[in-house]
Amino acid sequence: MIKLSGVSKIFGKVKALDDVNITIDNGDIYGFIGPNGAGKSTTLRLLAGLLAPTSGTVAINGLDVTKERREVMKLVGYMPDVYGLYEDMTVLEYLRFYCKANFIPKSKIRRIVDDVLELTDLTVKRDSMIQGLSRGMRQRVCLSRALLHDPKILLLD
């Protein structure tokens, strides 16, 4: 399902990743543990298609993340470590906005949003402004956003 082969990523003079090789099968759950600057977030951003490797290949379900980014993005839900929420929206407005951004058909948006709100235990916060939510509730909103398109792979940074 996930394969990194000989992946390196260089930012200027900093080598964030050096010849990384990882294979993760369908259904497996993995966690990255390491100190700040070890390359955990960089690896997740490569898998999400937000960065291109300096060398090597990154594949999701047999698709090259760099060359077939659009198709890969349909398979991946990504929750960054910094949420980037639109604070002037309600939770419901925010999730509907991202449904549209993910080209989810209008006829399915209500059901999908209701299901995701229930899954993340946010139903009672659906009409709350994001700016008034606690950090934990904001984290749930971000997780909800990552789940909207029912991804095969969920990347949590």
pLDDT for position 66: 93
**Ordered domains of the chain (ranges, CATH):** 2-75 (3.40.50.300), 91-156 (no CATH)
Which residue ranges in the chain fall short of pLDDT 70? none
pLDDT for position 130: 95
Tokens 């509730």 belong to which residue? 137
pLDDT for position 85: 84
pLDDT for position 37: 86
Which pTM was predicted?
A: 0.84
Do 49 and 78 form a contact (C-beta atoms < 8 A)?
no
Dihedral (Cα; 80, 2, 16, 85), 10-degree rounding: -10
Which residues, at least 6 apart from 104, have a Cβ–Cβ distance to it below 8 Å? 112, 148, 149
